[in-house]
């Protein structure tokens, strides 16, 4: 499969996008953990309609607007990761959810008695399409900002942009 890449300069650093030519397959903030290191050396830089759509979405997002539905995505992951990422997509703009809440929703949806919040956290951390699959909207049970592959400072700024911080004071 051929991989195409494009770049977007955001207020929070460079964003690298990847595509299979039809849909977005990745979107990473500069310096983000779990960035595929081989992408920048193997991807072909090309202007594609999907990158234009992604840039428009990002423009609206970084102007503090609800950007609406994201462009077409092709996700690759384990069945568990895909289920977690689907749950992330259901968190509305300007709102947050906890790892535990997501674990309970996945357990109920799959008919399991229990799903670990820690396992959810592992899948959230490996989200290949930051912002559009809003892993930054997931917080700790006590409202703490925890675990964001793009860095906690960025997570705080993204939640502030969305006016989604559910707490005040020292917890941010």
Closest listed residue to residue 94, CA positions, set 10, 169, 168, 159? 159
Give the domains, in start order, of the chain with CATH numbers: 4-62 (3.30.160), 79-166 (1.10.10.10)
State the burial class of residue 53 (Cβ atoms within 10 Å of its Cβ: 0-12, 13-18, 19+): middle
pTM: 0.88
Average pLDDT, rounded, for the chain: 89
78-108 pLDDT per residue, tens: 999 999 999 999 999 999 999 999 999 999 9
Both tokens of 58, joined, read: 């990002």
Average pLDDT over residues 42-65: 90
- Judged against a pLDDT cut of 70, whether residue 171 lies above it is answered with no
- Judged against a pLDDT cut of 60, whether residue 46 lies above it is answered with yes
Whole-number pLDDT of residue 169 = 45
Ranges 3-7, 42-46, 100-104, 130-134: which has the least confidence: 42-46
Q: Which residues contact 97 (CB under 8 A, 6 or more apart)?
A: 87, 91, 137, 138, 139
Locus of tokens 């090309």: 46
DSSP state of 72: P
- Judged against a pLDDT cut of 70, whether residue 40 lies above it is answered with no
Catalytically active residues, by annotation: 135
């Amino acid at each position: 499969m051929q991989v195409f890449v494009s770049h977007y300069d955001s207020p929070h650093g460079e964003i690298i996008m990847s595509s299979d030519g039809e849909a977005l397959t990745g979107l990473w903030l500069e310096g983000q953990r779990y960035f595929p290191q081989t992408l920048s050396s193997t991807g072909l830089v090309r202007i594609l309609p999907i990158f234009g759509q992604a840039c428009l979405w990002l423009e609206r997002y970084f102007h503090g607007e609800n950007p609406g539905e994201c462009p077409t995505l092709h996700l690759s992951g384990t069945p568990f990761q895909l289920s977690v990422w689907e749950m992330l997509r259901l968190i509305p703009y300007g709102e947050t959810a906890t790892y535990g809440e997501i674990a309970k929703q996945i357990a109920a949806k799959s008919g399991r008695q229990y799903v670990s919040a820690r396992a959810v956290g592992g899948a959230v951390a490996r989200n290949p399409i930051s912002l559009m699959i809003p892993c930054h909207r997931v917080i700790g049970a006590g409202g703490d900002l925890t675990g964001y592959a793009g860095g906690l400072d960025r997570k705080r700024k993204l939640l502030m942009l969305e006016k989604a911080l559910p707490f005040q004071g020292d917890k941010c």
